[in-house]
Structure 1
Amino acid sequence: MLSLTACNLCPRLCGIDRRAARGCCGAGERARVALVSLHKWEEPCLIGADGKGAGTVFFSHCNLRCCYCQNHEISHGGKGETVTDERLAEIFLEQQERGAATLDLVTPTHYAVQILHALAIAKAMGFSLPVVYNTSGYERTETLEALAGHVAIYLPDLKYGDEKSARAYSRAADYFKVASRAICRMVEQVGAVAFSADGQLLRGVLVRHLVLPGHRHESMKLLDWLYHTFGDAVQIALMNQYTPLYKAGAHKEINRRLTTFEYESVVRHAQDLGITRCYVQEGRTADAKFVPVFDGRGVRKNK
């Protein structure tokens, strides 16, 4: 059973009573939200055939400590506004009213209890959007079990295959062990990807991987694992948008942008493996201008 009184929502298992203190992720008893928006730059299968966008809800705080996090002001700094479960349910309904194609819950892990309660309230009031669980991949299978039947689409990152990278850049040496097990459970729970006639993802798992500078061989190993484990049962998104933000300068090997050669070599590896379900990025996407402005938009009622 998920608990906020002896917090067990994520693999950190800090055991904090979040009614009185904050967990190692920084979160307390109530959910904290930094931005509610219609996001048109998610993968094409998530934004709707009309292009209105995914209904993103950006949650504050995070259970990872990625040194290059582009959303560090909310994930590490905690910027955002505290909301009740009832207000969170209203936010979900408001995204539906705006015409969002999906409800895209961004960094939701540490608020799984509040989200489940809010979804129950919203569904009783007519909420029906497909729920996207947009996560770092650092998940407990027990938390995923509690989400069964509530999440249609899992959108996990698969960041690292090597313990050294995971420890240095996200302070989670066990990342691949945890994330690989979690992704397997996600696929078991929602099944192979299924698309509508107009190309929208109805259910399944879409795995994102951000290629890091100097780590293209690690990326290739992750693609090997994904393809040999799932074949075309999952959709993959290979991202070239790495930008050395926040504290990336403390690690000289990643304190630069990704080269075209590095990214294209990973894309070629995916093609050579026979992967057919894979989004790739074209053009210059590594720029701070693509980072959302976390101004609290949509969090307060009638704002």
Structure 2
Amino acid sequence: MPIGSPDSDSTACSKEVEEGYTVIKTLGKGRFTEVKEVQQKGTRKHFAWKQVQLDKDPRCDLQIQLLRRVKHNNILRIYDVYWAAGVMDIMLELCSGTMADCIGSQRDTSGTSGYRTPSRTEVAKTLSQLLMAVNFLHENQVAHRNIKPCNVLLSSKRTWKLANFDLACDFDPGHHMSERVGSLPYRAPEIDQRKYTEKCDVYSTGVLFIAFVRGKEYVRSSLEDIKGSKGTEAAEELLNEKTWTSKLGYGALSLAKQMISLEEARCGSEEALRNPWLMQNLGSRPGLCCVVS
């Protein structure tokens, strides 16, 4: 349907979007944003059109600057940005689903067999792609600070893409960050203490790793949970060594625990990428796309 037509359910947009694109369908809505699939009229290429209300999202300009700077195969690509009165229209790479969708599809809705853990190679390739995106950001002194399943997208070529840089920021390796951001249970514990480094992204990726393997979110009840000295029954069950070993072999659980350790003991993204279990189970060089059934 044409943008701006009575049936399009679209707010005011830029002239470039109004004249150059056709709305296919709505993909999602947030507090201050709306995302739709659109087709460019000339090229007939499909994009994700994200419209942001500028007065309600002060971080929008920073997000655009960061996305234009950090170009990587495992980071969502930005194509064009247009402005209109009170809104910013962003044309992004179109993806087919999220990590949350993937995890949900692996669950047995009948409740008879629980969760189908992906194969070792699939888990390793997925984790490798996320860690490569995180490592690239950290090498460029950018922290994402909001890694969670709904912010990890699957492209049409079956490649995982880190998206939604609303809370991302530049960081100084010699100084701590202090802004309290992110969503539980993916927010690193040190963020609540308002003194943290870019390793907060490794913690978030570790919690996502556990969710991808076990189908449930790891929730710590205190700082002590991730020291291994105590923890909730649910958290302990998710980190059951026998279950992890039977599904993924030796070493996978050790990597997960390193990623969700307290900050001073936590591995960095580069160290995680060199983990023996991860390298042994990739089946090929890092970076090849994950095939999700």
Per the normalisation by structure 1, the TM-score is 0.27
